[in-house]
Structure 1
């Protein structure tokens, strides 16, 4: 009788999607079949799946282990459990097509965002999150690196940290990021964001900050990426991009969920100072909005 492996990934499909780029070509063929039809894989014996994927049984076992399972039986069990939860649409959200009516566009996009949040929350390790919270809360300075869509999330994180009194700066320009990273100290924290974990403009400053002694944090979809290898702490997001949605909200919203969890964790840990800083910044902004001189027009 198969029993759940408590150390195995909570969401096998999200795990497969995250590590897909780092797998070997043979393992990628297996992974794509899992993504395309998890129910079929759950129903297949290893011999049947070997025939369907065109790979050897040994390769299937190695791939299952690479995904965090003890073997193919445990992978099948996890996929069967996911299918039994009546979540086929969550497992296969369906990519947008050029002829999709707007009603389908709304449904598919909304489902993708909901899935990204649920998958990220399911695999967000509280112990690792706590370590990041502790590091950032005690930092002298926080650098946040991110370009493109991840750059928007980096700016959001820096803004949130500034609101509670932590010196934080977001860098979307590699030259500025490298300049700041070169001046980092061991009491500083460098947070790097990249869905693929292979963005050159993000990897370069992380390497420099790490060499300078700063604590490094990665927020990425791929826990086997170069960025993950460079980081002291890795937090895994689960949003994915498609042909019609590069820089998709699903990718950003999964990163934003992690940023919000870090922010709330720090605010809880430093409640008195954070609460005072939030009130002070809120009053300053509200006072600026209420200033009648801002509403007067020059004559």
Structure 2
């Protein structure tokens, strides 16, 4: 995972002082290359000790490693997207529509790249095998995460899998509690902290279901409630009505998961897709 995505995924671990460091670096990532640790601490209204603790929460030895990691990452991004685009920059009121579209598109491309390259393919293979053999597949997410769950439900339903999209928390908890043998329960939450979704996986796990978390935070409560965890990587813009970049990253995982399941019974899948297309697109 890139250092900027690591910062994004670690927000819940930061103290208020460290959160100020994260905000400044998120908005102006090049500031780390331009300022000493003392200057950065002043810019963030905090202490040098807080900056050092911030680095260690990220798994870094100190400020020098943070600077080196950011320099490498920003160099790669400049080569891929051009020097004029600062990926860490927020969408500004002064941006043109073209500039806003470029920022969002670049962040979404980067999110897909980081998500796919950072996937735990061992975990993905185990989830594919479990979903392929499942007697029942339960899918649940709140808000924008429900749209991602809905996308996987649509795909699995189209190829004849026994998948259920649960829209209401009480409905989800009931379905989780009454999970028959061979149930796979998938919970969707980018933050991994959505209480209703965490409870859904907790109940399903206690009922004997295999639980899977699709989240952007591998240390989150949702990940801890899951037998398997598929992690997305995204740097989300604060100017949003719902998930944007994080949604795209999770949809990339959904597509990988679906293709894995579909390929387990290739001929049956192709036949199901052909037949369902014929019935929904009559000649």
Task: Tell me the TM-score normalised to structure 2 length.
Answer: 0.86
Give the whole-Å Cα distance in 1 for the aligned partners of 2:53 and 2:141. 34
2:179 to 178, 184, 200: 184
Q: Paired residue for 1:4? A: none
Residue 92 of structure 1: aligned partner: 88
Aligned positions of 1:4-153 closer than 5 A = 10-87=1-78, 89=85, 91-97=87-93, 99-153=94-148
Give, in angstroms, the shift of residue 86 of structure 1: 4.9
In the TM superposition, what whole-angstrom CA distance separates every residue of 1:81-123 from its partner, at most 9, and x where no partner exists?
A: 01222536353243242x5433333323323322332332343
Rounded Cα–Cα distance in structure 2 between residues aligned with 1:120 and 1:168: 25
Output the CA distance in 1 between the equivalents of 2:88 and 2:35: 18
Q: Secondary structure at the match of 1:195?
A: coil
Alignment map for 1:143-222 (pairs within 5 Å): 143-185=138-180, 187-222=182-217
Q: Secondary structure at the match of 1:78?
A: helix
Cα pair distance change 1:104/1:90, threshold 3 Å? closer
8 Å CA contact retained: 2:27, 2:90 = no
Change (3 A) 1:283 1:134: closer
Inter-partner Cα distance in structure 2 for 1:96 and 1:219: 30
SS class of match (2:269): helix
Shift of 1:53: 3.3
CA-to-aligned-CA distance 1:161-190 (integer Å, 9 cap, x gap): 233443211112112111210111453211
Question: How has the CA–CA distance of structure 1 residues 85 and 243 changed in structure 2, closer, same or farther, with 3 Å as cutoff?
Answer: closer
**RMSD of aligned Cα (Å):** 2.5
The offset of 1:267, in angstroms, is: 2.8
CA deviation profile, 1:196-238 (whole Å, cap 9, x unmatched): 2222332222221121121211112223322122122222223
CA distance in 2, matches of 1:120, 1:49: 30
Query: Contact between 1:164 and 1:274, CA under 8 Å: does it hold in 2?
Result: no
Q: How do 1:245-260 residues align onto structure 2 when only pairs under 5 Å count?
A: 245-260=240-255
Which range moves more in the overlay, 39-48 or 220-229? Answer: 39-48
Structure number with greater Rg is 1
Q: How many residues align?
A: 278
Deviations 1:230-261 (A, max 9, x none): 12222222335445422243222111001111
Tell me the equivalent position of 2:277.
Answer: 285
Closer, same or farther in 2 for the Cα pair 1:65/1:134, shift >3 Å? Answer: farther
Name stretches of at least 5 consecutive residues in structure 2 with no aligned partner. none
Distance 1:101 1:140, change over 3 A: same
